[in-house]
Amino acid sequence: MLTREDVRRLCGELPDWKIAKIVASQASYAELETAAIWAQGEDLGPDHHPLEGKVAYLFEIIKAGEEWEEDPERG
């Protein structure tokens, strides 16, 4: 089971609510590692496939709210 330290190691600093949702997901370390790689936008090569299951859920948690931060039109 993931710990808060695992989440911080793989994802860096996240708000407490995101960390709590990730830990509560009961995802594996490998699932979070994959989601974190995708969230960082790293090139996964030509053989990567769409995210699904827990990895997709974790990715959505990690990225939640970022579209508002990145959009200068929204202030």
Report the pLDDT value the prediction gives residue 47, as an integer from 0 to 100. Answer: 64
Q: Is the pLDDT of residue 71 over 50?
A: no
Q: In 31-59, which positions are buried (b, 16+ CB within 10 angstroms) versus exposed (e)?
A: bbbbbbbbbeeeeeeeeeeebeebbebbb
Q: Tens of pLDDT along 28-56?
A: 999 999 999 999 886 566 666 778 999 99
Is residue 36 in a domain?
Answer: yes
Is residue 9 in a domain?
Answer: yes
Report the pLDDT value the prediction gives residue 54, as an integer from 0 to 100. Answer: 95
Is residue 70 in a domain?
Answer: no
Is residue 17 in a domain?
Answer: yes
Percent of the chain with pLDDT over 70: 79
Residue 59's domain comprises: 4-43+51-65
Report the pLDDT value the prediction gives residue 44, as an integer from 0 to 100. Answer: 62
**Overall domain count for the chain:** 1
